[in-house]
Amino acid sequence: MANKTVKPYLDQPGTKKEQVTHMFNRISGSYDLLNRMLSLGIDVRWRNVLVKKLKAHHPAKILDVATGTADLAIAIARSVPDAHVTGLDIAEEMLLIGRKKTELQGLSSRVTLEVGDAENLPYPDGTFDAITVAFGVRNFEDLERGIAEMNRVLRPGGHLYVLEFSQPKGWLFRPIFQLYFKYLLPLIGRLTSKDARAYHYLFESVQAFPEGETFVELMRKQGFGQTSWTSLTFGTCSIYEGLR
């Protein structure tokens, strides 16, 4: 089944997509710090694990969906020297920061950042050799449509890699994780961000995300084969893989 709809702002009008766009435009200036806090800095290593898997298949044209401030797009471009990465995101303010980062690292010619909707990808069928998404799929309004769109724009034999937060299952680590995500992180958010509600939403969206085998089944339903998932860091994050 698809993910339960969780919106960033419970008392405001607008679709989830509209609210997510507004939220990320609002917190763009603190987003990189937010990711570091969410993962206690381990998100950098998680991205490196994904990039290593991607690199093994030598893709030339890569799409990074929900690219945000382009951390993953930049990591891919640095590790796969002959590849071109297109980063797509719904929030223009996030992309402005991403463009500054690509310019500083001399990667503007190999990383293109574009505004676009993950559920209506503006590319022809079979355009890309690989697609990545890091911490973005749980923000989709229609998760199954987003997966179907990624399948459509992949070439036959192309790979999808999804990096996403998950909920640890261990009796010891799970309550620590819940305490941190539900209470401590929002408190930090109120002190560091002009949109404290965003930090509550991030916890709620992780809770609602159909993780593990449930997400893998959604990938299969939308046409992906050779699907698998790998749990990282006591189950706090997972990498999902599928073949077009």
Higher-pLDDT residue of 29, 244: 244
Could you tell me the pTM of the whole model? 0.94
Q: Is residue 9 part of a domain?
A: no
Give the whole-angstrom CA distance, residue 110 versus residue 64: 13
Residue 1 covered by a domain: no
Question: Residue 140 belongs to a domain with what CATH number?
Answer: 3.40.50.150
Look at 28 and 194; give whichever has higher pLDDT: 28
Q: Quick check: is 187 in a domain? A: yes
Cβ contact 82:60 at 8 Å: yes
- Establish if 10 belongs to a structural domain: no
* Number of domains into which the chain is organized: 1
> How confident is the model over 88-146, as pLDDT tens digits?
999 999 999 999 999 999 999 999 999 999 999 999 999 999 999 999 999 999 999 99
Cα gap 98→118, rounded to integer Å: 17
Asked if residue 199 lies in contact with residue 31, where contact means CB atoms within 8 angstroms, the answer is no
In a domain, 5, yes or no: no
pLDDT at 38 over 70: no
Give the C-alpha separation, 132 to 151, whole Å.
12
Chain segment 143-195, per-residue pLDDT in tens: 999 999 999 999 999 999 999 999 887 777 778 777 877 777 777 777 766 67
pLDDT in tens, 74-100: 999 999 989 999 999 999 999 999 999
Is 11 within a domain? no
Domain that holds residue 213: 16-243
Integer angstrom CA distances of residue 198 from 6, 10, 26, 69, 202: 12, 11, 9, 17, 6
